[in-house]
Structures are given as structure tokens and as C-alpha cells.
Amino acid sequence: MSDGQAFPESCFASVLAVTADCVFIIKDQCIQYVSVGDEVWLQPDSIRGVSIENLLSETILTTLREQVSSAQASGDVSKARYIFRPEHLPELKNLGLSETIWFETRLNCVDASTYVWSLRNINERKKLERKISHQAQRDSLTGAYNRRALIPVMEQNIAQAQRYDGICSMLLIDIDDFSRVNDDFGWDAGDQLLRQIVTSLYQMKRTADFLVRFGDDQIGLFLPETNHEQAVLAGERARRLVSELDIPSASGNVSCTVSVGVSSLSGPEDTAAEMMKRIIENLAIARHCGGNRVEGDS
């Protein structure tokens, strides 16, 4: 084909037919053409000739208008992300939209009244991002949140408590002589003990409490809206709960005790770092006093 020859219109349709993206050609807000790509739920014959404003929510339309304006001003492709939720898009729901879809879109203006809008389904990418985020904040052995996830939770709750004259506390639970468990019963038994302790504490905690695996043999429990007296009582409940565990293993039943350090928000100038420092100091006192005890702020 020479440079001067026009590209056959049928070839454009073929190009669109092989792409996974959903592509709209819109003129004067009216859908002139649509290639559904992988969005097989969409019915092109039902929306061809329909105004785009009759299909989309005002929130999406506002973003779309901004995307069109950006493309017109730059003369280049404009990008944006959208969330299509069936409950917010009744017309599309009637056409077959049955689940929430994240779309990454590209828009290019042909002239002042016409633009091409392509939508790429990125649900699988979002699921992968959530999985990676979940794994980054979760302990693989116990399923509890890890230490990295704790600090922002502490800082947010402390800031809120200080703003509204509230209170919060935290427990740090350390398994007494955990190395003995591993030596006497094996690493698998030690892992099973950790999992059972976390499971038991999950059952004990309130919905708003935040449970983390703080270290190899340490479990943290952050307690919003909990004063020091209540936190010490919670520490005692955790101590008794763990002491009553009796876990079968190949080398015999495994049991243990724990030491618990407790601290509570001390005032408007307190910080997560200072609170954590006191918790660790109180835990050290509990351990040095023989373990199997709860130590709070003096």
C-alpha cells in the first residue's frame, strides 16, 4: 500500500476486533461505534446511537468531561481510571454489568466534537495489588498483621485520641522461654503454638482491637478506647488464656506461659514511639521478675 492510499475502513474494524480493550467512538456525546473487546457482557447494538450521558453516573461523567478537556488542551492522549459499579450504573447493569470493574482508560480527540475512548479492564491487576499489599502487611505463619502494619494504626489512633480527649492502650505479649519449646518439641511444634496463641487472642479481642505478630515470639494487641486499668485486665485475660493452652505434638503436649507489657496513652504530647518504649520496658520487667505476669505503667 502506497503512502497516498487511504487505509480501508474495514481494517480499522479489524484492528478494534482483535484488541481486548473496549473502545467507543463518541460524537456530540452520542455513541457512534463500540467494540466491546473482552467486555462480552456489553451489548453494542443496544447502546449504539445512545447518549453517553444516559449510561453513566454524574460522578463518572464529571471525570470524563475533565479527561476530554485535558485531551483537547494538550492535543495528546489523556488517561484516567474509573470504577464501574452495577449499583451506581443501572443502565449498564441492565445490559449485563454484574460486578464492579476497574477501568484504565485512554482518550484522544478527533475534532472538537468527536473522541475515541478506550477502556481496559484492570480487575486482575487490582486483585494482584491487593494481594501484594495484604502479603506485605500480614505474617505468613499466623495470618496476623505484622509489625509494619502496626505503627500507622497506632499513630492514627493516638492522634484521634489526643484530638478528642480519648485514650488507648497496647499489650505486648512475649512467650516465656520460647526457645525451650523449639528445642524440646521441634520447630513445627513452636510454629503450631504461635498459630494457636494468635487464634485464641483473635477470639478474645474486640472488633476494633488490632492484633499483630510483633516479633518471633511476641504478639502485640493494640486497644483503642481502653484505659490503663482495662488494658491490664485484658493483659491478665491474655496471660490466663495462653496458660490454659495444651497443644498436642509428635513429641508430647506443648504448653507455655507469657509475659505481658502494658502501656497507655499518657497525654497530649505522647507519641507512638514513646508509648512503644514504655511497653518494651514494662515487658522487660515482667520477664525479669520470672515471667508469667503482667506489668503496666507505674
Q: Which residues contact 298 (CB under 8 A, 6 or more apart)?
A: none
Give the model's confidence band at 1: pLDDT under 50 very low, under 70 low, under 90 confident, else very high.
very low
114 and 254 in a single domain? The answer is no
125 vs 34: CA distance, rounded Å: 24
Global pTM value: 0.59
Report yes or no on 133 lying in a domain. Answer: no
Instruction: Give the neighbor-by-neighbor strand order of the sheet with 22-27.
Output: 30-35, 22-27, 114-121, 101-111, 78-84
Report yes or no on 191 lying in a domain. Answer: yes
pLDDT of residue 2: 47
The kind and range of the H/E element at 211 are: strand 210-215
Instruction: Write the DSSP assignment of 34-49 as a string of letters.
Output: EE-TT-TT--HHHHTT
Average pLDDT rounded to a whole number, residues 131-159: 86
Residues 218, 280: contact at Cβ < 8 Å? no
77 and 161 in a single domain? The answer is no
- Supply the CATH number for residue 112's domain: 3.30.450.20
Q: Which of 42, 85, 79 is nearest to 64 (CA)?
A: 79
85 and 211 in a single domain? The answer is no
Domain boundary among 125, 151, 168: 125
116 and 32 in a single domain? The answer is yes
120 and 146 in a single domain? The answer is no
Residues 262, 231: contact at Cβ < 8 Å? yes
Q: Is the predicted pLDDT of residue 271 greater than 50, yes or no?
A: yes
Give the Å distances, CA to CA, from 171 to 223, 273, 282: 8, 14, 10
Minimum mean pLDDT among 15-24, 209-218, 272-281: which range? Answer: 15-24
Alpha helices in the chain (DSSP H): 9-18, 44-47, 58-74, 90-95, 123-137, 147-163, 178-185, 187-204, 228-243, 272-288
Q: Is the predicted pLDDT of residue 40 greater than 60, yes or no?
A: yes
Residues 247, 196: contact at Cβ < 8 Å? yes
Report yes or no on 187 lying in a domain. Answer: yes
Computed over every residue of the chain, the mean pLDDT equals 91
> Burial of 124 by CB count in 10 Å (0-12 exposed, 13-18 middle, 19+ buried)?
exposed
Report yes or no on 2 lying in a domain. Answer: no
Report yes or no on 37 lying in a domain. Answer: yes
259 vs 29: CA distance, rounded Å: 67
Report yes or no on 189 lying in a domain. Answer: yes
Q: What percent of the chain has pLDDT over 90?
A: 78
Report yes or no on 157 lying in a domain. Answer: yes
Q: Please, what's the b/e burial string for 159-175 (b: 16 or more CB within 10 A of its CB; e: otherwise)?
A: eebbeeeebbbbbbbbb
Q: Which of 179, 187, 194 is nearest to 140 (CA)?
A: 194
208 vs 153: CA distance, rounded Å: 11
- Supply the CATH number for residue 287's domain: 3.30.70.270
The kind and range of the H/E element at 215 are: strand 210-215
Q: Is the predicted pLDDT of residue 285 greater than 60, yes or no?
A: yes
How many angstroms separate the first and last alpha carbons of the chain?
87
Give the model's confidence band at 3: pLDDT under 50 very low, under 70 low, under 90 confident, else very high.
low
> Burial of 217 by CB count in 10 Å (0-12 exposed, 13-18 middle, 19+ buried)?
buried
Q: How many domains does the chain have?
A: 2
Give the Å distances, CA to CA, from 45 to 16, 52, 103, 109, 208: 16, 14, 22, 23, 50
236 vs 130: CA distance, rounded Å: 36
Domain boundary among 77, 104, 125: 125
pLDDT of residue 199: 96
pLDDT of residue 284: 97
Report yes or no on 1 lying in a domain. Answer: no
Minimum mean pLDDT among 61-70, 104-113, 132-141, 189-198: which range? Answer: 132-141
Domain span at 194: 138-295
Average pLDDT rounded to a whole number, residues 257-286: 96
45 and 147 in a single domain? The answer is no
60 and 159 in a single domain? The answer is no
Residue owning grid cell 480493550: 21
Give 91-116 pLDDT, tens digit per residue: 999 999 999 999 999 999 999 999 99
150 and 31 in a single domain? The answer is no
166 and 85 in a single domain? The answer is no
Domain boundary among 85, 102, 125: 125
The one-letter code for the residue type at 78 is S
142 and 286 in a single domain? The answer is yes
103 and 64 in a single domain? The answer is yes
202 and 244 in a single domain? The answer is yes
